[in-house]
Amino acid sequence: MPLDPQFRTVIDQLTAAGALPLVRASAQETRSHYRALALARRGDGYRPEPVGDVADHRVDGPAGPVPVRIYHPLEDRGRVVTYLHGGGWVVGDLDTHDPVCRRVANGVGATVVAVDYRLAPEHPHPAPLDDAMAALAWTADRYPGRPHVVAGDSAGASLAAGAALRAREENGPALAAQLLVYPATDPHMGMPSIRANAEGFFLTRADMTWFYAQYLPDPAGRTEPVVDLLRAPDLAGLPPAVVATAEFDPLRDEGDAYAGRLRAAGVAVRHVPGPGLVHGYFAFLGVVAAADARSRDVLDALDELLP
């Protein structure tokens, strides 16, 4: 189907205002730009989605305290989610993804622990994943007995998938599910959608090339299974997964392919495509109606996987 008309308008406006492409001259400038975009999307009349409670905390990490933000849902259904934000492993923080975490908390009735992991290029791989593992372990200890989901969007979904692999290999926390929203699974950027959706749809191929260069400065890192997920030799025994993709996303095909690889390995998979949508649509809640609707479909799919 064609690009959603509301997204067409948003992208045209951002382009005309000089807000796209996302990547600027340096990591710090790109972070500031991304944060300004994320906050500006909420508008003057923005009111955050109500949740039961929000509190900031710190957990012990491998290189010092890792900030986390804990969301309690309006209706607690006894689940817990460790959430890893997107942003190419370089940008994003607890504030940029606050609306997403609120939606996840209420959507599945879960306490959400959002993780402010270290960012590249100052902290390249494996630092972000190491912080994710520390937060995953803390969440499991803090909320024992709850079905535990590791979740993320974009780069955060890549970290979530890598964390699920490491948890299996390292006898880490037991996971009830993984939620992977338009995950990055192919650091070699070889899938057709990388070329077909290279420009004009919010995230670009050039953006991804730059993000990977910051996150994986050592080419050897691109072959590790927790990064090169599409070629990980063994996916058996991983937790059930919801994999959401977007039609006009450079990462669409690698997300689709990873869902297929999980299913072939015997993992229960709910694949939720995003017709007419672009990468990052979860960040446009309240702005694009189709993004709102599909976000609820994705969380409904996760809800069905959980006890």
Active site residue 141: no
pLDDT string in tens for the chain (307-residue length): 899 999 999 999 999 999 999 999 999 999 999 999 999 888 677 899 999 999 999 999 999 999 999 999 999 999 999 999 999 999 999 999 999 999 999 999 999 999 999 999 999 999 999 999 999 999 999 999 999 999 999 999 999 999 999 999 999 999 999 999 999 999 999 999 999 999 999 999 999 999 999 999 999 999 999 999 999 999 999 999 999 999 999 999 999 999 999 999 999 999 999 999 999 999 999 899 999 999 999 999 999 999 8
Q: What CATH topology corresponds to 5-305?
A: Rossmann fold (3.40.50)
pTM, full prediction: 0.98
Which of 97, 249, 253, 295 is catalytic? The answer is 249
Q: How far is CA 62 from CA 13, 134, 150, 241, in A?
A: 42, 7, 19, 27
Q: Kind of pairing, strands 110-115 and 64-72?
A: antiparallel
Active site residue 154: yes
Torsion region of 287: left, alpha or beta (phi above 0 gives left; psi -120 to 50 gives alpha): alpha
Which of 130, 154, 158, 295 is catalytic? The answer is 154
Helix/strand/coil percentages in the chain, nearest 5: 40, 15, 40
**Which residues is 241 bridged to in the sheet?**
178, 269
